[in-house]
Amino acid sequence: MPTFDAGSLDRLNGLSQYYAQIARNGGFPAAPPVGLSAGATGSAVLALRQRLVMEKDLPEAERDNPKWDARLTTAVSRFQQRYGLQSTGKIDERTRTQMALSVQHRLIQIGHNMERVGARFIDFNRRYVVVNIPSAQVEAIENGEVARRYIAVVGRPQNPSPEVDATISAINFNPTWTVPQSIIKKEIGPHMVRDPSYLSRQRMSVIDGSGRTVDPKSIDWSSGKAANYTIRQAYGAGNSLGQLRIQMPNSDSVYMHDTPSKRLFGSVDRFFSHGCVRVQGVNDLAAWLLGSGWDARRVGQEIATGARKDQAIPDRVPVHWVYMTAYVTPDGTAHFRPDVYNLDFGSASRIADAQVVNPY
């Protein structure tokens, strides 16, 4: 089911009304203790069942059983999946944290999402791509159904991925990478001060305003003058964009691409980039975008030539990057995600277990 479509705002409005009724009825029961799991009995299990019934993860007929059975494990797993948590089927720390948040908190969260969705004026195409930033996930939508779904790595809180509406126009095979000015100032310069061989090891060249290559040793990297130059990384092994970039012109200069740091796709929290979106299985997405006659194998063959090539997409595809920490899929299932950029509440939001391995 799509995360984002023409019915998203109406479904969020219905969710808000449903949660408002829960609030009028006294709100959620107390959150269960960490460690509650299969085999438990008693009042904590009854409170958990009440909560899961409220959020439609457990049938009403299962409300009054004080024992933890297999059906309750399934219901807890469903709750965890809806909240973007690991499906453990027991009350772990993260699950309890989400259950401890009040219904009033959820109503505020839903309200902010309604504001953001309502501010987007989109004529949804037959084929389009959605990136939901808090989910770190990409969906390729066709005729109202999710044709492809991919794990992604998105911007870290200090370099957030923006909300974007753009059009995907081409696939760039074996792309070069032009380093953003912000990274030159904050990271490349300090790297060069500490290690003058950094650019050569990264296969990066320095280009002046006339398009001429400049010797990095001639630049004072401790000054602000470095930002007057363009730094470009050669295509091939180790390129920060990997072997493929999805071209989607936009004012924020962000895009979707491959990555040499594929291990980050296995992280629970995938907020590591400088704002662009890295896509697991990007070759398959590229084939879907290119359409008839393309598959992941053919995309791989183009990459294997080692040549730079820009392949235009015959029927351009809209792409929408959204920040939805609450959404309802067309089947009526409510989903929640962490407010990693503090857009809903503005208080400090911690991403547990996050370790920045490769900042690009």
pLDDT in tens, 47-72: 999 999 999 999 999 999 999 999 99
Question: Where exactly are the structural domains of the chain?
Answer: 28-101, 127-176+239-336, 178-233
Provide the Cα torsion 83, 85, 91, 92; round to 10°. Answer: -140
Distances (CA, A) of 87 to 136, 211, 272: 17, 53, 23
Q: What is the DSSP letter of 213?
A: E
Per residue in 71-125, pLDDT (tens digit) is 999 999 999 999 999 999 999 999 999 999 999 999 999 999 999 999 999 989 8
| Predicted confidence band of residue 223 (pLDDT cuts 50, 70, 90) | confident
Per residue in 229-280, pLDDT (tens digit) is 999 999 987 899 999 999 999 999 999 999 998 999 999 899 999 999 999 9
Residues with Cβ within 8 Å of 293's Cβ and at least 6 positions away in sequence, in order, are none
Per residue in 142-187, pLDDT (tens digit) is 999 999 999 999 999 999 999 999 999 999 999 999 998 888 988 8
Instruction: Determine contact, residues 4/109, Cβ cutoff 8 Å.
Output: no
> How is domain 28-101 classified at the CATH fold level?
Muramoyl-pentapeptide Carboxypeptidase; domain 1 (1.10.101)
pLDDT given at position 348: 36
Q: Which amino acid is present at 123?
A: D
CATH architecture of 127-176+239-336: Beta Barrel (2.40)
Plot region of 319 (φ>0 → left; ψ -120 to 50 → alpha; else → beta): beta
| Residues making up the chain, counted from first to last | 360
User: What b/e string do you get for 146-175 counting C-beta neighbours within 10 Å, with b at 16 or more?
Assistant: eebebbbbbbbeebbbebbebebebbbbbb
The DSSP bridge pattern shows strands 244-247 and 256-257 to be: antiparallel
| Predicted confidence band of residue 356 (pLDDT cuts 50, 70, 90) | very low
Overall average pLDDT of the 296-310 stretch: 96
Per residue in 3-13, pLDDT (tens digit) is 999 999 999 99
Write down the pTM of the prediction.
0.90
pLDDT given at position 224: 79
